[in-house]
Amino acid sequence: MRRLGLLVLGLVAVAATALAAQQSIAARLSGRASPEIVTLVQELGSTAASRGLPIDPLIQKAIEGNAKGVPSERVATAVRLVYAQLDTAAAALRSAGPNSPPDTVEIAAGGFAITAGLRGRDIAELARTGRPAAAVTVGLRVAGTLAALGVPPAEAVTLVSASLRAGQAPGDLLALPGRVQSEMARGATPAQAAAGLARAAAAQARHGPPPHPGPPPHPPAPPHP
Amino acid sequence: MHAETGDPRKGAPSDGEVVRAVLAGDRERYAVLVERYRDRYARYAARMLGSSDAAEDAVQDAFVRAYDQLAQCQDPNKFVGWFFLILRNRCFAEQRKSRSHVSLEAASSVPTGDRSDLGTETAERRRALQEALMGLTAEQREVFVLKHVEGLSYIQIAERLNTSVPSLKMRMHRAYDKLREQLRDQA
Amino acid sequence: MTKREFDPQVKQLLDGELTLADLPAELRQEGEEALRLLAAVDRELVSLPAVTWRVMATLERRRQRRLTWLLAPALAAAAALALLLGRPANPPAAASSAMVTVRFVLVAPGAHQVSVAGTFNRWDLSATPLVRSGSADMWVATLSLAPGQHQYAFVVDGVRWVPDPTAPAIDDGFGRRNSVLTL
């Protein structure tokens, strides 16, 4: 009897939480999305919550579409796409390690990386570096940002996983896109820039951090005719 | 385009003073150097790369790189000559990257000086020559630009590029022939 | 030496070592062709006013990222500790105290108003107007943002959505691009 009581209490608690979530979605979208979009986000949000997916990216995309004056139908498509990307990211993160289920922040970072062009297997590879969730989260954001700069997904993943394995701090990871942009400014393609930095990270993992880097004192000699 | 020690206006700090201030931590002062020289080689970059937009990117990137390497500038009073070499490398790197696309892009984005006092015939001739220039190798185009756009002598160019006058002339004379051929093909 | 190449004396003319009058009669026409070629050289000075702010904005943005670098190890340590204690690795409360100052800059010639809209202000076009700074075409705003992932775009005159030319960009799902800010 008691167990049944607890079960009922548990169910009521779950129902109450779900109701609160729906109300929270409606509140956040109030005045910022059409009624059909609000309904859609509530539906997707409810499924997302039950599957451990973040809801915030869905809400953000709905608000963004409304702000940009996009027709409801197109906003709906975009919101569904975000959901699918979050789902893919979550599956990829889970495949990397059944022991530690990914949290919503990590999944959101994975979803962003997928929007930027990474694939599920790229997400899984980053998760398999065995670093703590916070580091993987930063790694996913950085990998996505690199892809947004034009670095091909494979090179972005190689660079970030090499950096993660080298034990680089989140701050170093966050500096990677800027360093790639610097290399690109010197004429490297995004892929070349990322590959160069990945080699440096791998070397660091083997030998420890290098002395303070100094570029060569003279620009290269002029090319011959 | 000769190396200069500083702004001739009274009271303005020399290049060396500004470089030393930036290296000492006064980051914002770098804007003085950027403002001073951003247009100095803009024309060179535009003629080398075929468009003002590409020149803007190249000059911007070169200034960022120069900032990164400022501690390696051997003589802060000769910042501008050192900066030129950085920009030059950037222009050549751009060429290597986009060799196959250069002629097409240049033809459409070349600034012909859309000033109303230029006759359309003159504008067309300019466009045609710039397109022909883009058909040269980067080295040939450079010697042509330095001599006929920037107005340097062969001796000045040889000093700047650390090469000999005879080899420059050989490059230039090949450029003349190629230009003639390209202009005839265009007509 | 084929007809397609300039005569060596004409090349000397082009080099400025001879004048047209110095050329023999049979080379006059070729000499004039050569001089017409030189006359077509575009010697217009080129001005790049946007370079100054673009360079300084790039250097500033990189400096802000390096500031995050100094603060981030504290965040990572807090997250790792949370894991050890068995709690889910949610962003630690300390994150709010580690806000990052970001300066948004856009050059928009002819614009009457510019704002920035993004995930940090619920894509509200009117929440974060930029103000003119320095040259009339340069618009600036400075914000304190939480570390994390942000997407944004500039809005010019309330109607034109413009991604940040200096930032990485991703598809927004509506046929445009959003700029990405990873702090």
Q: Is the Cβ–Cβ distance between C100 and C145 less than 8 Å?
A: yes
CA distance A121 to chain C (A): 20
Domain boundaries, chain B: 1-99, 114-187
Mutate which: C90, C170, C171, C176, vs A, most A CBs within 10 A = C170
Supply the ipTM of this predicted assembly.
Answer: 0.83
Helical spans, DSSP H, in C40-137: 50-84
* pLDDT at site B106: 39
Higher pLDDT, C72 or B75: B75
Higher pLDDT, A193 or C81: A193
Spatial distance between the Cα atoms of B126 and C42, rounded to a whole number of angstroms: 6
Domains of chain C, earliest start first: 8-39 (no CATH), 50-182 (2.60.40.10)
* pLDDT at site A183: 84
Q: How many CB atoms lie under 10 A from the CB of residue B185?
A: 9
B62-115 pLDDT, tens digit per residue, is 999 999 999 889 888 889 989 999 999 999 988 776 554 444 333 333 344 444
CATH architecture observed for domain B1-99: Orthogonal Bundle (1.10)
Same domain, A70 and A148: no
In order along its 225 residues, chain A shows pLDDT tens digits of: 677 777 777 677 667 766 777 778 888 898 899 999 999 999 999 999 889 999 999 999 999 999 999 999 999 999 999 999 999 999 999 988 766 788 899 999 999 999 999 999 999 999 998 788 888 999 999 999 999 999 999 999 999 999 998 888 888 899 999 889 888 877 888 999 999 899 888 887 777 655 544 443 344 434 333
CA distance B42 to chain C (A): 6
Q: Is A224 part of any domain? A: no
Q: Which residue of B has its CA nearest to A215?
A: B69
Please state the domain count of chain A: 2
Token pair 């022909």 in the structure block, residue: B132
Same domain, A203 and A160: yes
CA distance B115 to chain A (A): 32
* pLDDT at site B168: 96
* Average pLDDT score over residue span C83-104: 51
Question: Which residues, numbered 65 to 94 in chain B, qualify as contacts with chain A under a Cβ-Cβ cut-off of 8 Å?
Answer: 65, 68-69, 72, 74, 85-86, 88-90, 92-94
Q: What is the DSSP letter of C119?
A: G
Q: Is A49 part of any domain? A: yes
- Report the share of chain C in percent with pLDDT over 70: 79
Same domain, A91 and A125: no
Q: Do C48 and B129 touch (CB under 8 A)?
A: no
Q: Do C72 and A112 touch (CB under 8 A)?
A: no
B113-161 pLDDT, tens digit per residue, is 444 456 778 888 888 999 999 999 999 999 999 999 999 999 999 998 9
> Which two three-digit tokens encode residue B144?
């042509």
Same domain, A109 and A195: yes
* pLDDT at site C90: 36
Q: Do C69 and A74 touch (CB under 8 A)?
A: no
Read off φ and ψ for residue A104, nearest 5 degrees.
-65, -30
User: How many CB contacts within 8 angstroms connect chain A with chain B?
Assistant: 50
Q: Which domain holds residue A176?
A: 104-207
Same domain, A108 and A52: no
Q: Give the nearest partner residue to C54 out of B55, B60, B129, using CB atoms.
A: B60
- Report the share of chain C in percent with pLDDT over 90: 48
Spatial distance between the Cα atoms of A27 and A33, rounded to a whole number of angstroms: 11
Same domain, A109 and A203: yes
Higher pLDDT, B77 or B172: B172
Mutate which: B83, B92, B101, vs A, most A CBs within 10 A = B92
Mutate which: A181, A186, A218, A224, vs B, most B CBs within 10 A = A186
Q: Is the Cβ–Cβ distance between A67 and A14 less than 8 Å?
A: no
For strands C100-107 and C160-162, give the pairing.
unpaired
Same domain, A89 and A109: no
Q: Is A65 part of any domain? A: yes
Q: Is the Cβ–Cβ distance between B48 and B145 less than 8 Å?
A: yes
Q: Is the Cβ–Cβ distance between B113 and B56 less than 8 Å?
A: no
Spatial distance between the Cα atoms of B112 and B50, rounded to a whole number of angstroms: 11
In this complex, the chains that touch B, judged by 3 or more CB pairs closer than 8 A, are: A, C
C107-154 pLDDT, tens digit per residue, is 888 899 999 999 999 999 999 999 987 767 888 999 989 888 999 999
Q: Which fold has domain B114-187?
A: Arc Repressor Mutant, subunit A (1.10.10)
Same domain, A44 and A110: no
Please list every residue in chain C whose beta carbon sits closer than 8 Å to the beta carbon of residue B45.
46
